């Protein structure tokens, strides 16, 4: 890990575009913050390839954020659901459903009370310390040729190194802004084999809210919708078709405490790596529970399939476990089958 941490320090640049004479006065507009020219040049080289990134301040506590990216364009865009955009939307109070909770970034990096409007669509805010960013190419932390590896292995390497880097910074006494460094109060991940009728009694008595993939066959959804819930095959199939055609989470409530997530790949649609779409659908299932079903316990019983991105789903659920403003849900179980 030390080699990676050395690379971060040796290949960094100031993060935020700022006023000409003061690097501690960051500029932004209604769409988001912008990179400095140096940061943008570094980002343009790497943004369309899998990579890691580290952002931090000169504060003695560090206030680091360690992240990973698998998608074209990366995670630092000036729009909703991306870091540069989300930070500005927090300050403008225009946060949307798919924005991560970055309030703690602002708390540790910026003096929020100094926010001011310079002109019609230009604002400034004072930084507490210089904020830096470094983008780490895949070959630096993997020692492997990215062109020879399947995406599943690349994702696993990224996830593993990100976790190790976080733990290494924690061991150094660095304060991190990652959700991984916060205590989860609801989510429990359960690794096990095929999961069938483990919760049948609780499901019948509506003590749980079950979330499954929209596939009507010998699946968890098929078992609970038909064998336990009493739906006909035609009824169960109608819900599946509705979810997958609309690419939208569908609830069977009040008939059943059951919500189904659309497939990532279905007929002419391939959203396997589209984080925003899956984020919206998983958040919608939680919204349904909080506002309609009102169960204290949710169970995400997800099969590992080629046409559903279970790894991305778990990553999103971990994030929502921290950032979502829960009122009703007290426990979330994720069965990683």
194 lies in the same domain as 160:
no
For position 232, which CATH number holds? 3.40.220
170 lies in the same domain as 205:
no
Q: What is the pLDDT of residues 208-262, one digit of tens each?
A: 999 999 999 889 999 999 999 999 999 999 999 999 999 999 999 999 999 999 9
- Helix 2-10 vs helix 151-171: crossing angle, to nearest 10: 90
Of 155, 181, 207, the position where a domain reaches its end is: 181
The per-residue pLDDT for 12 is 97
Of 129, 151, 181, the position where a domain reaches its end is: 181
Backbone angles phi, psi at 265, to 5 degrees: -125, 125
The per-residue pLDDT for 212 is 96
Q: How far is CA 221 from CA 162, 179, 228, in A?
A: 33, 30, 10
Distance CA 239, CA 248 (A): 11
211 lies in the same domain as 196:
yes
176 lies in the same domain as 208:
no
Residue 153, token pair as written in the block: 């292995």
108 lies in the same domain as 197:
no
C-beta of residue 112 within 8 angstroms of C-beta of residue 91 = yes
Q: What is the pLDDT along the chain (337 residues), one digit of tens a residue?
A: 899 999 999 999 999 999 999 999 999 999 999 999 999 999 999 999 999 999 999 998 889 999 999 888 999 999 998 999 999 999 999 988 778 888 889 999 999 999 999 999 999 999 999 999 999 999 999 988 888 888 888 888 998 999 899 989 988 888 899 864 544 568 888 766 555 567 888 899 999 999 999 999 889 999 999 999 999 999 999 999 999 999 999 999 999 999 999 999 998 899 999 999 999 999 999 999 999 999 999 999 999 999 999 999 998 998 888 778 888 998 899 987 6
121 lies in the same domain as 251:
no
170 lies in the same domain as 260:
no
173 lies in the same domain as 191:
no
46 lies in the same domain as 143:
yes
Terminus-to-terminus CA distance in the chain, angstroms?
31
Distance CA 61, CA 17 (A): 23
The per-residue pLDDT for 95 is 87
195 lies in the same domain as 134:
no
16 lies in the same domain as 163:
yes
Cis amide leading into 254 (omega within 30): yes
The per-residue pLDDT for 22 is 97
- Counting the structural domains of the chain, the total is 2
The per-residue pLDDT for 197 is 65
105 lies in the same domain as 208:
no
Q: How many whole angstroms from its chain centre is CA 19?
A: 32
Of 129, 163, 181, the position where a domain reaches its end is: 181
The per-residue pLDDT for 193 is 53
Q: Please give, one letter per residue, the 3-state secondary structure of the chain.
A: CHHHHHHHHHCCEECECEECCEEEEEEECCCCECECHHHHHHHHHHCCCCEEEEEEECCCCCCEEEEEECCCCCCCCCCCCCHHHHHHHHHHCCCCCCCCCCHHHHHHHEEEEEEEEEECCEEEEEECCCEEEEEEEHHHHHCCCHHHCCHHHHHHHHHHHHHHHHHHHHHCCCCECCHHHCCCCCEEEEECCCCCCCCHHHHHCCCCEEEEECCCCCCHHHHHHHHHCCCCHHHHHHHHHHHHHHCCCEECCCCCCEEEECCCEECCEECCCCHHHHHHHHHHHHHHHHHHHCCCEEEEEECCECCECHHHHHHHHHHHHHHCCCCCCCEEEEEEC
Residue range(s) defining the domain that contains residue 228: 187-336
């Amino acid at each position: 890990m030390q080699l990676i941490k050395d690379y971060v320090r040796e290949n960094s640049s100031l993060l935020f575009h700022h006023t000409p004479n003061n690097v501690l006065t960051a500029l932004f507009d209604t769409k988001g913050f912008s990179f400095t020219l140096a940061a943008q040049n570094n980002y343009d080289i790497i943004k369309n390839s899998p990579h890691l990134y580290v952002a931090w301040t000169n504060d003695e506590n560090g206030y680091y954020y360690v992240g990973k990216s698998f998608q074209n364009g990366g995670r630092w865009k000036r729009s909703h659901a991306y870091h540069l955009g989300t930070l500005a939307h927090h300050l403008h109070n225009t946060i949307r459903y798919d924005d991560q909770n970055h309030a703690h970034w602002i708390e540790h990096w910026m003096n929020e009370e100094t926010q001011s409007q310079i002109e019609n669509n230009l604002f400034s805010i004072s930084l507490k310390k210089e904020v830096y960013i470094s983008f780490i190419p895949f070959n630096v932390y993997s020692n492997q040729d990215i062109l020879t590896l399947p995406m599943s292995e690349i994702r696993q390497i990224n996830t593993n190194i990100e976790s190790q880097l976080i733990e290494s910074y924690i061991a150094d006494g660095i304060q991190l802004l990652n959700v991984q460094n916060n205590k989860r109060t609801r989510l429990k991940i359960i690794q096990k084999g095929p999961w069938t009728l483990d919760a049948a009694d609780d499901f019948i008595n509506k003590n749980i809210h079950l979330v499954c993939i929209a596939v009507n066959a010998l699946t968890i959804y098929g078992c609970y919708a038909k064998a336990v819930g009493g739906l006909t095959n035609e009824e169960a199939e109608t819900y599946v078709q509705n979810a997958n055609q609309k690419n939208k989470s569908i609830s069977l409530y009040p008939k059943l405490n059951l919500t189904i997530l659309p497939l990532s790949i279905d007929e002419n649609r391939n959203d396997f790596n589209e984080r925003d779409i899956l984020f919206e659908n998983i958040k919608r299932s939680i919204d349904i529970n909080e506002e309609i079903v009102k169960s204290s316990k949710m169970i995400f019983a997800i099969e590992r399939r080629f046409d559903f991105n279970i790894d991305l789903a778990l990553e999103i659920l971990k994030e929502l476990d921290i950032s979502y403003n829960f009122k009703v849900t007290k426990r979330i179980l994720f069965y990683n089958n």
